Amino acid sequence: MRELGTVGTVGSVCLRCQFRQLLVSRVRTRRGIASSSAAAAIETDGTEIRSQNEARNPQTAPSPGGGPLTAPARPSQHVPSLRRSSSVAMFQNIVGRSAQASSGSGNPGTSAASIELVKDVAKIQTMLEREGATLAEAYSYFEDKVYPQMTQAGVSVPQMIRNQVGTVLLDKLALEKPRDFESNTLPSVTRITEIMIALDVLRPAAWATLVIELIQHIYRQNTVPDAYDSIKDYETAMARRDGLLHDLLGAWGAFCAQRVSDEADLSTRPPATNKSSRAGAKPRQQTTLQKGFGAMFPQYLVPSLLRPTFAAFATYKLLTDAFNRSRATTEEAAPFLQMMKGLIFQTRSPRREDFKAIFDKFPDLSEFVWPKTQAKDKGILGSASVFGDKPGQLKANIHRQVGEALKIRNLGAVRKAWSNFWGDKPEPDPARLDELRQCPEMFDYFIMAYSMIRQPQLAIEVWNKMERIGIKPTIKTWNSMLQGCSKAANANGVRTVWNKLLTSGFQLDTTIWTSRINGLFLSGDADAGLRALDEMAKVWAARADPRFAKIAVQPSVEPVNAALSGLLRLKRESDATNVLAWAAKQGINPDIYTFNILLRPLIRRGDMNGIDNIFATMRSVNIQADVATFTILLEGSLNHIGGLPPAQQVALVERILAAMKASGVEINMQVYAKILYILLCEGDRAEEPVKAVLAHIWHRGLELSSHIYTMLAEHYFSRSPPDTDAVTALIENRRLHANKGIDRVFWERVMKGYCQAGDLQRALGIFDRVFVTGTTVTFATLYELLRPLVDAGDMQAAARVWEAARRIGKPEEAAAGAGAGGEGKRYWRHRFWHLAYEQGLMGEQLAQRFREANQ
Question: What contacts 697, CB < 8 A, 6 or more positions away?
Answer: 669, 672, 704
Please give the DSSP secondary-structure letter assigned to residue 261. Answer: P
Closest CA to 204 of 303, 311, 296, 305: 305
Residue 186 has pLDDT above 50, yes or no: yes
Kindly report, residue by residue over 22-61, the tens digit of the pLDDT: 344 444 443 333 333 333 333 333 333 333 333 344 333 3
| Span 691-717, average pLDDT | 90
Please give the share of the chain, as a percent, with pLDDT higher than 90: 31
pLDDT at 825: 66
Give the Cα separation of 260 and 672 in Å (integer): 46
Q: Is residue 578 included in any domain, yes or no?
A: no
Task: Name the CA dihedral angle for 252, 253, 258, 262, rounded to a multiple of 10 degrees.
Answer: 110
Predicted confidence at residue 382, as pLDDT, reads 39
% of the chain surpassing 70 pLDDT: 77
For residue 574, is pLDDT > 60?
A: yes
Q: Which of 711, 705, 766, 699 is nearest to 241 (CA)?
A: 699
Helical spans, DSSP H, in 453-572: 456-468, 475-487, 491-504, 510-522, 526-541, 557-569
Task: Compute the mean pLDDT over every residue in the chain, rounded to the nearest whole number.
Answer: 78
Identify the pLDDT of residue 77.
40
The Cα 491–Cα 551 span in angstroms is 21
Q: Quick check: is 616 in a domain? A: no
DSSP 772-794: TTT----HHHHHHHHHHHHHHT-
C-alpha distances (whole Å) from 838 to each of 756, 787, 831, 832, 845 are: 22, 11, 10, 10, 15
* Range of lowest pLDDT (379-383, 456-460, 652-656, 700-704): 379-383
Give the CA dihedral 401, 403, 406, 412, nearest 10 degrees: 10
The confidence band for 233, taking pLDDT boundaries of 50, 70 and 90, is confident
- d(CA 367, CA 186) in angstroms, rounded, equals 30
CA distance 45 to 38: 11
Instruction: Yes or no: say if 478 and 501 are a contact pair by the CB < 8 Å rule.
Output: yes
Highest mean pLDDT pick, 63-72, 323-332, 712-721, 825-834: 712-721
302 or 226: which leads in pLDDT? 302
Residue 49 falls inside a structural domain: yes
Looking at the domain assignment, is residue 222 inside a domain? no
Q: Give the range among 56-60, 102-106, 116-120, 443-447 with minimum mean pLDDT.
A: 56-60
Domain range enclosing 43:
35-202
Domain count, the chain: 1
Cis ω for the linkage preceding 148 (within 30 of 0) = no
Q: Is residue 629 part of a domain?
A: no
Least confident span in 38-52, 194-208, 214-228, 578-592: 38-52
Confidence at residue 62, expressed as pLDDT on a 0 to 100 scale: 38
pLDDT band of 73, cuts 50, 70, 90: very low
pLDDT, greater one: 641 or 585: 585
Helices vs. strands in the chain: H and E counts, helices first = 45, 0
Rounded-to-integer distance, Cα 251 and Cα 254, Å = 5
Asked if the structure places residue 188 within a domain, the reply is: yes
Question: How far is 452 from 405, CA to CA, in rounded Å?
Answer: 11
**Average pLDDT estimate for 474-502:** 94
Q: Determine phi and psi for 86, rounding to 5 degrees.
A: -65, -35
Residues ≥6 apart with Cβ < 8 Å to 18: 7
Which is it for the CA torsion 234, 235, 238, 243, positive or negative? negative
Burial of 685 (0-12, 13-18, 19+ CB in 10 A): middle
According to the model, what pLDDT value does residue 235 have? 77
Question: pLDDT digits over 439-463, tens only?
Answer: 899 999 999 999 999 999 999 999 9
Band of pLDDT at residue 328, cut at 50, 70 and 90: low
Q: What band does 556 get if pLDDT is binned at 50, 70 and 90?
A: very high
| pLDDT exceeds cutoff 60 at 603 | yes
Model pLDDT, residue 303: 87
pLDDT digits (tens, 9 = 90+) for 334-392: 889 888 888 888 888 888 888 888 887 887 777 777 765 443 433 434 333 222 333 35
For residue range 511-535, list pLDDT tens digits in order.
Answer: 999 999 999 999 999 999 999 999 9
234 pLDDT tier (thresholds 50, 70, 90): confident
pLDDT digits (tens, 9 = 90+) for 807-852: 765 444 444 444 444 455 677 888 898 999 999 988 888 888 888 8
Out of 120-129, 229-238, 718-727, which region has the weakest mean confidence (pLDDT)? 229-238
Closest CA to 228 of 218, 237, 240: 237
Phi-psi map region of 106: left, alpha, beta (phi>0 left; psi -120 to 50 alpha): left
Within a domain: 572: no
- Quote the CA–CA distance of 126 and 138 in Å, as a whole number: 9
